[in-house]
Amino acid sequence: MPSETPFHIVLIEPEIPPNTGNIARLCAATGTALHLVGPLGFSLDDRYLRRAGLDYWPAVKLQRWDSFDELARAHPDGRFWYATKRAKISYADAAFEEGDFLVFGKETAGLPEALLEKNPGRAIRIPIFTEAVRSLNLSTAAGIVLYEALRQAGRLSD
């Protein structure tokens, strides 16, 4: 039987309220848990954050963590995937399983290098086909990876 929370999205130190609000709406729509880690670049009362999430905030399974280590200790058996443009593995080649944590870094700096060095086999990227663009928008990237994970878990059929 499928779990009630198929996946988890983890945002480490997000900085832009509308991105987090859009991801919160994505989580509400898919039953995905949202984990916000570390100092945020905004208040959870921010009007732009609230506006992007519309009236879906009550449907978001939201958890706050002071650090990524705290989150990892709370989920010792969790499988974590780290989205970064520096990964060698495409998100499309990852083998996602229900319950996985999809981890994204802050908009201006991405994930901490030390975290990526400790987990090279779990680092994934979304291909970008031009050098004119450094990265995708955080909420776009979260949607791309989450929907691939949902597809692999057989969650996209009505």
pLDDT tens per residue, range 11-70: 999 999 889 999 999 999 999 999 999 999 888 876 766 776 667 888 999 999 999 999
pLDDT-derived band at 130, boundaries 50, 70, 90: very high
pLDDT recorded at residue 44: 80
Would you kindly state where each structural domain of the chain is located, as residue ranges? 8-152
Average pLDDT over residues 65-90: 97
Residue that wins the pLDDT comparison between 36 and 5: 36
pLDDT recorded at residue 1: 37
Which residues, in sequence order, are CB contacts of 29 under 8 Å at separation 6+? Answer: 56
Q: Given a cut of 60, is residue 114 above it in pLDDT?
A: yes
Average pLDDT over residues 72-86: 97
CATH number (2.30.30.100, 3.40.1280.10, 3.90.1150.10, 3.50.50.60) of 8-152 reads 3.40.1280.10
**pTM for the structure as a whole:** 0.93
Average pLDDT over residues 92-115: 97
Q: Comparing C-alpha atoms, which of 144, 10, 20, 137 is closest to residue 90?
A: 144
Phi, psi of 131 (to 5 degrees): -80, -5
Q: Given a cut of 60, is residue 139 above it in pLDDT?
A: yes
Distance CA 15, CA 94 (A): 27
